[in-house]
Chains A and B, each alone.
Chain A
Amino acid sequence: MATMIQRALLSSALVGAVAAAATCTTTDPCAGPTRCPATGELPFPVLSDYDFFQGSMVEEVPKDGVIPYTVVAPLWSDQAGKGRFIVLPEGGKIDFEAREGWGYPEGSIIIKSFYFDHDRRDPSAGSDTVETRLLIRKGGEWEPVTYLWNEEQTEATLLKVGKRVEFSFIDEDGASKDEEYIVPNLDQCRSCHERSDEMHSLGTVTPQLNFEVEKDGKMVNQLEWLAEQGLFSGALPAVDTLDRFAAPFDADAFELDDRARSYLHANCAHCHRDGGAANKSGIDFLRWETDPEQFGVCKLPAAAGAGAGGRLYDILPGRPEESIVTYRMNSLDPEIKMPELPNRVIDEKGLALITEWIAAMPVKECGVP
């Protein structure tokens, strides 16, 4: 686990050096920013076949047409860092939707890599990438695949059945730690991305992308920047008319309720919504749900079993310590924990946020009008 990837120190000089050291000659048309993917049916057996990146692939310096993006309210993945990109086919455009359900053309690929810093006190100490997941638009549907990186960090290979990966890092307090990370199997991909028998991209929805990001040293609205890159088929509506999620841990910029609801959307609503895998729970954590009972206030659990922990309601206003939601977020027991997959580490910051949010609700006795 020794490869030191200098993400933060990446420079064009480094990219050039790596490219020159590659097996191709400097006149190789594929060594530069032009993609030269393999031919044949998708998904390819190895990640390098897609030719998304120039130079050392693990550094994820995108080639032309590999468009980086980020989300304002990320899914907790055991504190993995993530690289995210959209790749459209030649001439392809996205049909924009104001909230979700963007229409992607056949052949589109959404890329998400998961990496862990070697030293959580110092991102410049490098990281190891564990897996790179793709959603491939094929036959009018998203097909999920994931690629497991080798220890040398030179290649990633298609893996269907999932894997438990052990890794080590230095934690925030400077202590050496070992953790297990779960690379999902393809059904587990579906268990989050599928609703009503259809696969969806969860990150590329309007409110997740509608925020200010830094590009070339300036702050710009990410949706507008993506529009400038030519991603959308039509004109983008004025971004201030579109939904936006809050950054869950930016208490200076956003209200507590907005932050908590955005967090719950990002981490829970892929299952807990109409058509989602957990719709039978009767809970709907969509950010735009307005009925408090729908998102758990004074709601009796459906079949929570041990997940209820003896608590009566999903959310008991003013009393986080008596609410099922916080109980389940604070467990790693497979029968209790939420989300069910795939974390091995509790999201302490997320738990604190939801605890604070429930505590701030006016105390109410449930079932009493």
Chain B
Amino acid sequence: MVPYRSCLGLVLALPLSLVGVVGCSGGGGETDTDSATDSDTGAELPAGCDAYVQPSDNDQDTLQGALLDAAEGDTVCLAEGTFKFNTEVSVSTNGITLKGMGQDKTLLDFTAQDLGGNGIRITGDNVTVTSLGLRDTPGDGIRADDVSNITFEDVVVGWTAQMSLSSGAYGLYPVGCTGVTVRRSRVYGARDAGIYVGQSSNILVEDSEADGNVAGIEIENSTDAVVRNNHAHDNTAGLLIFNLPGLDVKDGKRTLAYGNLIENNNIDNFGLEGTAVAKVPRGLGMMIMASDHNELRDNTVRNNTSTAVVIVAYNTDLFDPYDDAAYNKYAEGNYVHDNTFEGNGLDPDDLVVLLAKTAGVPVDGSMPIPDIIDDGCYDAALDNSDGSLTNCISNNNGGSATYASINLCGQGEVSMDPAFATCTHPTLPDVP
């Protein structure tokens, strides 16, 4: 507790309600007792902070001003309390850490925002956002655009309205980034994807929670992601690994998802008509669409009413037709193994019923929808003689998980025998 002493001067200057939470709770064990002072106010700074912003009657200017004044590598700290914004907050300097006093202690309230498409927009490299919460941005929560090494840690982004079209689309929203970390964070209430990583590479999403969104976690047009030990629940769908046409970065692949608990993703799809996720069936655990060489292993997927795993091409009967000659619409070479499936497929969405019927699965309630549905499609222009494009399953529920290949492209055959698709692919590397 010694380092807390250096904050006493500051504590005295704060409203009584804030006393006891000032500054020093972060610091990751640092014992920096040098009493730095804020260059503008002369006030003593909490340890580990290069600027310290407290709630005021003009939070927009005080925080934005501190961020504009910050030098590369600075930590801009936010006190405990509620900060109110009417305009997007931007972080453009490299190496900035924006740090609150805890995800339930420092709240950034965007209810009054009427300018800017995001709550916070990050364009600096090596930025970390940590220990704070965002609420009710009219657009997206925190967007990081085309940056290297963006980190979200202990961040909550959410919308108070439940299943509302007026909520924002994406909570945590790195796009076009190299090096993404989402850790111990939570997104709730997004009317598209809660934790959404788009057109990025080298990604780690771990120990996080997504609930009340249309898609809990979505990895889209992205490559080399590890998604582990997350809890995706009470969304329309838990985890989506998608490639969509018409994007700058195409051909996302190699997402490794393991150790996730994906359950009760059964809320009605409240996505906006015209968006891809609005077409996603309710009650899905995990879905791979048009993405290749992903590995889903050692996940627990339970009580999702449609099914546990769907692997499909981008199907223009369901999704919108596109003009993108460079787009490969097939989901190929994916590997689903050693997962635990329980209680899925008991009340399927109409679309999943349709898929199941294609495979001849009785959908009269006499049996649940199979745990894994694979469309059996691959790009006929490619050579699959070595089976590298085949989606493999292995040892789910100790080998007793149910399965259906529905042969939508006529390249194989309809089969409900797990042995039909039992094979292996090389496993993907984990990260430390």
Chain A residues near B (Cβ < 8 Å): 160-162, 182, 185-188, 190-191, 194, 277, 279-282, 293, 297-306, 308-313, 333-335, 340-342, 366-368
Q: Are A302 and B92 in contact (CB under 8 A)?
A: no
Q: How distant is the Cα of A274 from the Cα of B380 in the complex, in angstroms?
A: 32
Q: Are B246 and A305 in contact (CB under 8 A)?
A: no
Q: Are B115 and A341 in contact (CB under 8 A)?
A: yes
Q: Are A312 and B320 in contact (CB under 8 A)?
A: yes
B71 at the interface (CB under 8 A from A): no
Q: How distant is the Cα of A279 from the Cα of B60 in the complex, in angstroms?
A: 28
- B175 is contacted by which of A303, A310, A341 (Cβ under 8 Å)? A303
Min CB distance A311 to B, Å, is: 6
Q: Are B321 and A305 in contact (CB under 8 A)?
A: no
Q: Are B117 and A334 in contact (CB under 8 A)?
A: yes
- A302 is contacted by which of B115, B123, B246 (Cβ under 8 Å)? B246
Q: Are A303 and B169 in contact (CB under 8 A)?
A: yes
Q: Are A161 and B64 in contact (CB under 8 A)?
A: yes
Q: How distant is the Cα of A367 from the Cα of B314 in the complex, in angstroms?
A: 13
Min CB distance A7 to B, Å, is: 29
Extra 15 A-B pairs, beta carbons < 8 Å, given A160-B65, A341-B116, A367-B316 = A185-B64, A187-B91, A191-B90, A277-B145, A277-B146, A280-B247, A280-B249, A281-B248, A301-B274, A306-B272, A310-B273, A312-B320, A334-B139, A335-B140, A367-B322
- B87 is contacted by which of A162, A300, A312 (Cβ under 8 Å)? A162
- A279 is contacted by which of B138, B246, B248, B323 (Cβ under 8 Å)? B248
- Given known pairs A281-B248, A282-B246, the reply for A305 and B323 (CB within 8 Å) is no
A340: which B residues are within 8 A, CB to CB?
116-117
- A293 is contacted by which of B198, B272, B324 (Cβ under 8 Å)? B324
Q: How distant is the Cα of A340 from the Cα of B60 in the complex, in angstroms?
A: 18
Q: Are A185 and B90 in contact (CB under 8 A)?
A: yes
Q: How distant is the Cα of A281 from the Cα of B88 in the complex, in angstroms?
A: 19
Interface size on B, residues (CB 8 A): 51
CB nearest to B62 among chain A residues:
A161
Grouping DSSP codes into helix (H, G, I), strand (E, B) and loop, the A interface class, with mixed when no group exceeds half, is loop
A304: which B residues are within 8 A, CB to CB?
274-275
A334: which B residues are within 8 A, CB to CB?
88, 113-117, 138-139
Q: Are B169 and A335 in contact (CB under 8 A)?
A: yes
B198: which A residues are within 8 A, CB to CB?
280, 302-303
Indicate the member of B68, B117, B145, B244 with the most A CB atoms within 10 Å.
B117
B87: which A residues are within 8 A, CB to CB?
162
- Given known pairs A190-B123, A303-B198, A333-B138, the reply for A161 and B274 (CB within 8 Å) is no
Q: Are B176 and A187 in contact (CB under 8 A)?
A: no
- B170 is contacted by which of A188, A293, A305, A311 (Cβ under 8 Å)? A305
Q: How distant is the Cα of A82 from the Cα of B251 in the complex, in angstroms?
A: 45
Min CB distance A285 to B, Å, is: 14
Chain B residues near A (Cβ < 8 Å): 60-61, 64-65, 67-69, 87-88, 90-92, 113-117, 121, 123, 138-140, 145-146, 165, 168-170, 175-176, 191-192, 196, 198-199, 244-249, 272-275, 316, 320-324
CB nearest to B173 among chain A residues:
A303
9 CB-based A-B contacts, threshold 8 Å: A160-B69, A161-B60, A162-B64, A280-B198, A282-B248, A303-B198, A305-B272, A310-B273, A335-B139
Q: Are A302 and B113 in contact (CB under 8 A)?
A: no
- Given known pairs A161-B68, A190-B123, A279-B146, the reply for A300 and B192 (CB within 8 Å) is no
Which A-B residue pairs are the 8 nearest by beta carbons? A367-B321, A305-B169, A187-B90, A335-B139, A308-B274, A310-B273, A310-B274, A300-B246
Q: Are A161 and B248 in contact (CB under 8 A)?
A: no
B272: which A residues are within 8 A, CB to CB?
305-306, 308, 310
Q: Are B320 and A308 in contact (CB under 8 A)?
A: no
Min CB distance B424 to A, Å, is: 34
CB nearest to A185 among chain B residues:
B64
Min CB distance A276 to B, Å, is: 9
Q: Are A298 and B192 in contact (CB under 8 A)?
A: no
Q: How distant is the Cα of A84 from the Cα of B198 in the complex, in angstroms?
A: 39
Q: How distant is the Cα of A280 from the Cα of B275 in the complex, in angstroms?
A: 16
CB nearest to B67 among chain A residues:
A187
Q: How distant is the Cα of A160 from the Cα of B146 in the complex, in angstroms?
A: 24
CB nearest to B125 among chain A residues:
A197
Q: Are A161 and B247 in contact (CB under 8 A)?
A: no
Q: How distant is the Cα of A312 from the Cα of B69 in the complex, in angstroms?
A: 42
- Given known pairs A280-B247, A282-B248, the reply for A303 and B117 (CB within 8 Å) is no
Q: How distant is the Cα of A305 from the Cα of B123 in the complex, in angstroms?
A: 21
Min CB distance B367 to A, Å, is: 37
Min CB distance A132 to B, Å, is: 19
Q: How distant is the Cα of A312 from the Cα of B245 in the complex, in angstroms?
A: 13
A293: which B residues are within 8 A, CB to CB?
246, 323-324
B114: which A residues are within 8 A, CB to CB?
334
Q: How distant is the Cα of A299 from the Cα of B245 in the complex, in angstroms?
A: 9
Indicate the member of A277, A279, A280, A340 with the most B CB atoms within 10 Å.
A280
CB nearest to B325 among chain A residues:
A293
- A342 is contacted by which of B115, B138, B323 (Cβ under 8 Å)? B115
Q: Are A303 and B170 in contact (CB under 8 A)?
A: yes
Q: How distant is the Cα of A277 from the Cα of B116 in the complex, in angstroms?
A: 13
Q: How distant is the Cα of A366 from the Cα of B428 in the complex, in angstroms?
A: 38
Min CB distance A86 to B, Å, is: 26
B65: which A residues are within 8 A, CB to CB?
160-161
- B123 is contacted by which of A191, A309, A367 (Cβ under 8 Å)? A191
B145: which A residues are within 8 A, CB to CB?
277, 280
Q: Are B90 and A280 in contact (CB under 8 A)?
A: no
A302: which B residues are within 8 A, CB to CB?
198, 244, 246-248
CB nearest to A188 among chain B residues:
B90
- B320 is contacted by which of A194, A277, A280, A300 (Cβ under 8 Å)? A300
Indicate the member of A182, A302, A303 with the most B CB atoms within 10 Å.
A303
